[in-house]
Amino acid sequence: MSVVAEIRELRKTPKGERRKNKDNKAGHLFLLPWTVGLFGITLFPMAASLYLAFTDYNLLQSPNWIGLDNITRMIGDDRLHNSIQVTFTYVFVGVPIQLVVSLAIAMLLDRGMRALPFYRSVFYLPSMLGASVAIAVLWRQIFGHSGLINQVLAMVGIEGRGWVSSPDTALATLIILHVWTFGAPMVIFLAGLRQIPDMYYEAASIDGASRFKQFFTITIPLLTPIIFFNLVLQLIGAFQNFTQAFVVSGGTGGPADSTLFYTLYLYQQGFNRFDMGYASAMAWLLVLIISAITVVNFWLSKYWVHYDD
Amino acid sequence: MRSVSDKERRVKATIKHIVMVLASLVMIYPLLWMLVSSLRPNDLIFREPGILLTTLEFSNYVQGWNALSHPFSHFLWNSAIVVFGSILANLVSCSMAAYAFARLDFRFKKPMFALMLLTIMLPVHVVIIPQYILFSNLGWVNTFLPLIVPKMLATDAFFIFLMIQFIRGIPKDLDEAARIDGAGHIRIFLQIILPLMIPALATTTIFTFMWTWNDLFSQLIFLTSPDMYTVPLALSAFIDSTGESNWGAMFAMSIVSILPLFLIFLFGQRFLIKGMATTGIK
């Protein structure tokens, strides 16, 4: 059962029956490290960052309460708006394409196919390495002026350009990088496809349903919980991407702020300029955006996700 | 009739294999090309899109290894310390928490469980600034402590979840029997549950390795002096200092940096893919 399913479960189950002998002492003992972490490393810092969001703080002087100034500053901050736009483009173009590709490949890699473990590994490998600096470095070269892409294009007589150094195409190269790492959702789709009983397809074949029709009447409906799960996870993950944009642009988010991801801008404000108050306000806006999208996702899921129960 | 459909099926399977082989090639071509380029003289990298090696040049590796203020082994070692510490911390703290959630009944279990699930989805950005201030006040910035101590406190809740799922699959009769024999929770946990959850521990180990080895964001924030640099920091410092001029050395060190990941991938694939499929961690 996935995290998403677990959260659904949590919402709908009534209070369970209570055992008489509770393991209060043992339970809290085993949970001690986690509890300390929850308060010390998560909840307390969250409260602190909420407070800092209403202050001006540069680490040297003590925080200075400025009320809603950070928020008005955010409203007027063009670079911030741009970073939101860049991030939304990246997320809402990259994630759907990646999911479609991963489902398509998972469908091709169906049961009984020879060499399946080999293909699965090959397709999974990039998603394992994709988050590394090494791959970002590689991307920077591949899509650079004298990079691999332009060398290939030159062979067919097309003159390339500096894909990562042009504001029109730099973000697209990062989206391609994201799509390339489709192995993770693919593996989850494969597991989901495997759970669809063969007899559904056999029955449909006997009724004369085409492959095409079988896909839309059997595969997709039965796969909706997995699609939903992948969607929620990939959206949350994609919003937080940082490494590739940082490395490809040398930490600037350039050219012309075209790869200034939200997290990169937050990093710049917080850890280059030590504008901790403003960066905290930005962090909270990110949480609000991600939560809102996740909540809307859960709400919409009622209309298209089919669970067996 | 039958032989025709057999033949048709074989043709279809062949076509599919051709498509898959081509797709696989596209997928790993950039990686192969990087490997080959790391063994080429620099000027050839800018002219050669193919992956056939005509000359074998190890100077990129020698050069890259010594390009920064420390030999590259220094950064590998730093990364190894952080990774090893993180793995140990995650294994201990997350398995304890998972045992509590999966097997014990206690006050506030439900709200705590809900909080645990929510922290899985919480962006790190909302805690990183106060954490930085906290660790900086403790004098921990530019040490490995900020990277390891949170893990000792089970903040990687994903793994708690993964282990809970696994423990739920272990028959309860086993610990009930041990309990009747007079074993306490600590013994049940150490002697019955832990040995049985080795696959989940292996998955945790592999994913912790992967994420920590690749993690640039928090290492960038907490490690400031080149002396403490880990592999991701060294690579990105490399690109700043040599820029576009020395791709060969850049690629050579990139290959060195992903080699451990690749080995983990080879050995741990089974756990990786199973862990992915059951819990969907990335």
B168-221 pLDDT, tens per residue? Answer: 999 999 988 998 998 899 999 999 999 999 999 999 999 999 999 999 999 999
- Give the pLDDT band of residue B278 (cuts 50, 70, 90): low
Q: Using one digit for the tens of pLDDT, what is the confidence trace for A217-271?
A: 999 999 999 999 999 999 999 999 999 999 999 899 989 999 999 999 999 999 9
d(Cα B102, Cα B162) in Å, to the nearest integer? Answer: 11
> Taking CB atoms and an 8 Å limit, are A33 and B93 in contact across chains?
yes
Q: Tell me: pLDDT of B274 over 80.
A: no
> Looking at beta carbons, which residues of chain A come within 8 Å of B169?
none
Cα pseudo-dihedral A167, B254, A98, A233, rounded to 10: -110
Closest CA to B232 of B40, B59, B22, B83: B83
A100 contact B CB<8A: no
Write down the pLDDT at residue A19: 53
A155 contact B CB<8A: yes
Residue of A nearest to B161 (CA): A3
Q: Using one digit for the tens of pLDDT, what is the confidence trace for A21-30?
A: 678 899 999 9
Closest CA to A164 of A142, A144, A138: A144
> Taking CB atoms and an 8 Å limit, are A128 and B24 in contact across chains?
no
Query: b vs e for A251-266, b when ≥16 Cβ sit within 10 Å of the residue's Cβ?
Result: bebbbebbbbbbbbbb
> Looking at beta carbons, which residues of chain A come within 8 Å of B153?
33-34, 36-37, 40-41
Q: Using one digit for the tens of pLDDT, what is the confidence trace for A77-118?
A: 999 999 999 999 999 999 999 999 999 999 988 777 778 888
B157-172: average pLDDT: 93
Interface of A with B in 263-282 (CB under 8 A): 263, 266-267, 270-271, 276, 279-280, 282
Q: Tell me: pLDDT of A49 over 90.
A: yes
Query: b vs e for B225-259, b when ≥16 Cβ sit within 10 Å of the residue's Cβ?
Result: eeebbbbbbbbbbbbeebeeebbbbbbbbbbbbbe
For B22, counting Cβ atoms within 10 Å of its Cβ (0-12 exposed, 13-18 middle, 19+ buried), the class is exposed
- Give the pLDDT band of residue B242 (cuts 50, 70, 90): confident
Cα-based distances in Å from A230 to A5, A20, A98, A107? 12, 39, 10, 15
Q: Tell me: pLDDT of B157 over 80.
A: yes
Looking at the complex, report in whole angstroms how far the Cα of residue B94 sits from the nearest Cα belonging to chain A: 8
d(Cα B88, Cα B80) in Å, to the nearest integer? Answer: 12
> Taking CB atoms and an 8 Å limit, are A6 and B269 in contact across chains?
no
pTM of the model: 0.93
- Look up residue A192 and give its two tokens: 């989901």
If you average pLDDT over every residue of chain B, what do you get?
Answer: 91
Q: Using one digit for the tens of pLDDT, what is the confidence trace for A108-119?
A: 887 777 788 889
d(Cα B261, Cα B268) in Å, to the nearest integer? Answer: 10
The beta-carbon neighbor of A247 closest among B13, B93, B239 is B239
Q: Which residues does B112 contact at the CB level (< 8 Å), separation at least 6?
A: A31, A35, A38, B101
Closest CA to A274 of B173, B194, B148, B129: B129
Mutate: best of A132, A186, A252, partner B, most B CBs <10 A: A132
Which range among A15-19, A157-161, A165-169, B23-27 shows the weakest confidence by mean pLDDT? A15-19
Write down the pLDDT at residue A240: 95
A136 and A248 Cβ atoms separated by less than 8 Å: yes
Write down the pLDDT at residue B57: 85
B233-240: average pLDDT: 90
Write down the pLDDT at residue B271: 80
> Looking at beta carbons, which residues of chain A come within 8 Å of B115?
38
Instruction: Please tell me which residue, A114 or A179, carries the higher pLDDT value.
Output: A179
> Taking CB atoms and an 8 Å limit, are B24 and A287 in contact across chains?
no
Write down the pLDDT at residue B1: 43
Write down the pLDDT at residue A237: 94
> Looking at beta carbons, which residues of chain A come within 8 Å of B99?
30
> Taking CB atoms and an 8 Å limit, are A40 and B153 in contact across chains?
yes
Q: Using one digit for the tens of pLDDT, what is the confidence trace for B56-102?
A: 889 999 999 998 999 999 999 999 999 999 999 999 999 999 999 99
DSSP 8-state class, residue A218: I
If you average pLDDT over every residue of chain A, what do you get?
Answer: 91
Residue of B nearest to A272 (CA): B221
Quote ipTM for the complex: 0.92
**Residue for token digits 């449909």?**
A204
Q: Tell me: pLDDT of A1 over 70.
A: no
d(Cα A251, Cα A92) in Å, to the nearest integer? Answer: 23
> Looking at beta carbons, which residues of chain B come within 8 Å of A22?
105-107
The beta-carbon neighbor of A30 closest among B13, B104, B265 is B104
Residue of A nearest to B93 (CA): A33
